[in-house]
Structure 1
Amino acid sequence: MRMLLGTLFLCLTANMGCDSGTRVDSAPLDAPRAAQSFVQVTNGQFQADGKPFYFVGSNFYRLAMAEAFQGNVIKEFKNGRVTFPQIDKVMENYATEGFKVIRLWGFACDGSKGSSVTPPFINKDLSLNMDGIQQLDYTIASAGQHGLRVILPLVNFEHEYCGMEWWVEQTLAKQASPSQRNMTWSCVEKRSHHVLKLTYNPSDCQAMNRPDNPVEAVVTKEHFYSSDIVKNAFKNHVRNFLSRTNRLCRKTFKG
């Protein structure tokens, strides 16, 4: 699936987990350790700590979600802390095979179309769901423990799990006054996902609905780029998300 580029996901291959050698099932550190540097681009080449950075990576986007294990997530308790041995095993396998980078999704929104994530990372009121974030924290910490860097997109271009449409629905559609909305809708066939029409009136889609060919009105994602209401809500979420501290190793997501 395509992901929105640029500022909407974290700097490529930043190590946001615990440093190598820090056990994620031990007590929190007394003081944060120095974070590894972000990977930069110099003269068209990835560099880390001033040296060329070459890597083999993997896209296991659902690893921090229960869906990655068919909802059967194993939790164990060590030294008073919840651990996820399945996640540790995946990271161990990646490290053993020489992988340096793993791409995870930093989004999973409550009620988003095409998915049912339990628990989600983001609630419908745009607050963070700490029950869901706990597993994401652990996954990132485990990646760092195994020497892996992380790419963490914060929104999906497609609608699954937390697309731009979800942000438009939760902000512009629910919070803005009618005069501020000026929203466009897509009349979409549920079975084929084919867009039949763009309209300012979602009732137009209802008129096209037939028992053998159901049609639904879906708000268009373009407002994610154009509406100040949507943009400000998402920017505020990014600030909150990146400034919070991973409780397992006392580091912010900024690195």
Structure 2
Amino acid sequence: MRSFSSIALLSVIGAASAQAGPWAQCGGKSFTGSAECASGWKCHELNEWFSQCVPGKRETKGAEGTTPAPVNSTSSTGTGKAPAPRANGASFAKADGVQFTIDGRKKYYPGTNAYWLPFQMNNADVDAVFDHLEQSGLKILRVWGFNDVNAVPAAGTVYFQLHDKEKGTSTINVGKDGLQRLDYVVSAAEKHGIKLIIPLVNNWKDYGGIDAYVNAYGGSHTEWYTNPKMQGLYQAYVKAVVTRYRDSPAIFAWELGNEPRCTGCNTDVIHGWATKSSAFIKSIDPNHMVAMGDEGMGLTVGSDNSYPYGTSDGNDFAKNLAIPDIDFGVFHLYTEDWGIKDNSWGNGWIENHGKVCKELGKPCLFEEYGIKGDHCGEQLKWQETSLVSGMAADLFWQYGQKLSTGNSPDDRFTVYHGTPDWKCAVMDHISRIPK
């Protein structure tokens, strides 16, 4: 059975009515729908492009045109607040020179990616993942904080934001098949002492991404970075998620997106977007770090003029890392996907990013890496290089285990918990990290 919020969402995308439904858009530039919310709900302005119906009495502007403070969405606990901080000395992670300090300890940290975790409906599956992470010593986990759709999916399918093409409106799903699933992940991370990196939009079509915005509101992938309406809706979503967890020590960092690109565009496009977006996040959450979430492309140091070192996809690693509100650098490594035949090439890629981070005095996170079907060969050398090249942490792509529905996603990069590959690619690596 669908949650109340999901039922409300279906009413929003159905036939037009005199009132906007719960959590529906109720105002903003170019919005033509109803500005009147259902009984017991009020229209709350998040920015000039987006107002949303939230619980409470009708909201009106005061004599000086001010609006009330943002309202937190309902969490999985039903309290309307983010999961409570742990009472075991947990604190906000921070950049400390070219390293990270987590819960008072400044050292190199291992971690992984499990993008799919917030989309699991079985709490026991989520708990099992965090049990294994804590037991193994993996400290940082990166999961998707986005899941955009252009139509409400089948019952039981998780999604976070609906971009209605017909109406040109956006609705954030805070129901049991929406952000409450991310609530549970954050709560479980707090219990197990794991820190989360959460990107807020995808460059790729998987889970909607930038193209879900473009499909609903027009324009192009490149124009998304500068289009006022789409950026207003992006900021509204960012604000809803960030304010939901801004008091949680489980958040390691927010990322502006996953692998942002704009093919053939000037590097000023993504740099300008990153500058504004990182400042926006810091304005509503000064507690947590912010990173780009990029692949580390556009690197002049040690360049061999190969594709990853170039700027053809709109990124300049050093330029973006120098943005004041970007706290650390991240980069990815996929030799096969980038057309690099020699996997040993990756060692120089790691070393050269370390040099840039050291020069700018910020930590460097080796955030995604893997070789399809070969987790115990050259990939191990990449890990060794990371340990001696000034990196602050590394996160292999990706974590896997058996779930109640079967195995977690296997893209041939996956390292499954408890397998022989797990020992050589994960546990042996952790054992080499100075305590």
Give the TM-score band, short-chain normalised. 0.5 to 0.7
Whole-angstrom distance in 2 between the partners of 1:89 and 1:49? 23
CA shift at 1:28, angstroms? 10
Q: Which residue of 1 aligns with 2:214?
A: 168
Query: Which amino acid is the alignment partner of residue 55 of structure 1?
Result: Y
Q: Which residue of 1 aligns with 2:194?
A: 148
Q: Which residue of 1 aligns with 2:110?
A: 56
* Equivalent residues of 1:101, 1:150 under 8 A apart: yes
Whole-angstrom distance in 2 between the partners of 1:42 and 1:138? 29
Q: 2:170 aligns with which of 126, 130, 150?
A: 126
* Equivalent residues of 2:148, 2:207 under 8 A apart: yes
Q: 2:133 aligns with which of 75, 78, 94?
A: 94
Q: How does 1:215-234 map to 2 (within 5 A)?
A: 220-234=220-234
CA shift at 1:51, angstroms? 4.3
State TM-score, norm by structure 1: 0.54
Q: Which residue of 2 aligns with 1:103?
A: 142
CA shift at 1:231, angstroms? 1.1
Whole-angstrom distance in 2 between the partners of 1:221 and 1:53? 39
Q: Which residue of 1 aligns with 2:101?
A: 47
Whole-angstrom distance in 2 between the partners of 1:87 and 1:152? 16
SS class of match (1:120)? coil
Query: Which amino acid is the alignment partner of residue 41 of structure 1?
Result: A
SS class of match (1:123)? strand
Matched-pair identity in %: 26
Whole-angstrom distance in 2 between the partners of 1:56 and 1:144? 17
User: Measured at CA, do residues 33 and 140 of structure 1 come closer, stay the same or move farther in structure 2, by a change above 3 Å?
Assistant: closer
CA shift at 1:101, angstroms? 0.8
By relative contact order (CA 8 Å, sep 6+), the higher-ranking structure is 1
Q: Which residue of 2 aligns with 1:243?
A: 243
Whole-angstrom distance in 2 between the partners of 1:241 and 1:142? 17
User: Measured at CA, do residues 96 and 28 of structure 1 come closer, stay the same or move farther in structure 2, by a change above 3 Å?
Assistant: farther
Task: Write the deviation string for residues 163-216 of structure 1: whole angstroms up to 9, x where unpaired.
Answer: 11212333x32xxxxxxxxx3xxxxxxxxxxxxxxxxxxxxxxxxxxxxxxxxx
Which structure 1 segments of 5+ residues have no match? 1-23, 67-72, 75-83, 174-182, 184-219
Task: Write the deviation string for residues 95-148 of structure 1: whole angstroms up to 9, x where unpaired.
Answer: 101111111101111238xxx991211122422212221111111111111110
Q: Which residue of 2 aligns with 1:77?
A: none
Asked whether 1:158 is paired with 2:212, we answer no
Whole-angstrom distance in 2 between the partners of 1:118 and 1:92? 25
User: Measured at CA, do residues 57 and 87 of structure 1 come closer, stay the same or move farther in structure 2, by a change above 3 Å?
Assistant: same
SS class of match (2:196)? strand
Larger Rg: 2
RMSD between aligned residues: 3.5
User: Measured at CA, do residues 51 and 34 of structure 1 come closer, stay the same or move farther in structure 2, by a change above 3 Å?
Assistant: same
Q: Which aligned runs of 4 or more in structure 1 are off by greater than 6 angstroms?
A: none
Query: Which amino acid is the alignment partner of residue 108 of structure 1?
Result: N
Q: Which residue of 2 aligns with 1:138?
A: 184
User: Measured at CA, do residues 86 and 32 of structure 1 come closer, stay the same or move farther in structure 2, by a change above 3 Å?
Assistant: closer
Q: Which residue of 1 aligns with 2:27?
A: none
User: Measured at CA, do residues 117 and 238 of structure 1 come closer, stay the same or move farther in structure 2, by a change above 3 Å?
Assistant: farther
